Homo-oligomer: A and B are copies of this chain.
Amino acid sequence: MVSLVTRGEPHSFAECNQAAVPVADILSRIGGKWMIYVIMALTRGPMRFSDLRRQVDGISQKMLTQTLRDLEEDGLVTRKVTPIIPPRVDYELTEIGMELRGPLAAIAEWTERNGDAIAASRARYAAERGAA
């Protein structure tokens, strides 16, 4: 893995990209529109589909399903079906899903800490480049 922190010998970009699962692969999933909100909601504990849909404001049924499928595929959530009528399906964060919350919180804290600077930078950029 290429370090993001240290400055050492030049590493091959491909070296990092050839792991079992590339970091960029995970980032692209996390970077999806709803992933973080679903994980946030599940942080409070197991939750039913309809509860999740209420918690994550604005998400469509399709996108909630798809996001949960992606999370399930990667082993970040479990899906437990209770075959009653009407059906009941509960989703819960797995152990590695729980462990992802730390890194995500680190991003969130960075964003919160630098939000004003970023907004200012964007405004300045828009004023300079947007005017031209």
- A residues neighboring B (CB under 8 Å): 1-7, 10, 12-14, 16, 19-33, 35-37, 39-41, 43-45, 55-57, 72-75, 96, 99-112, 114-122, 125-126
Contacts and interface: CB of A to CB of B under 8 A. Distances in A.
A125 B73 contact: yes
B110 A103 contact: yes
A107 B107 CA distance: 9
Given A27-B35, A103-B107, 12 more contacts: A5-B102, A5-B105, A6-B43, A12-B57, A20-B119, A21-B114, A26-B110, A26-B118, A30-B31, A31-B32, A73-B121, A106-B106
Tell me the number of copies of this protein. 2
Contacts of A39: 4
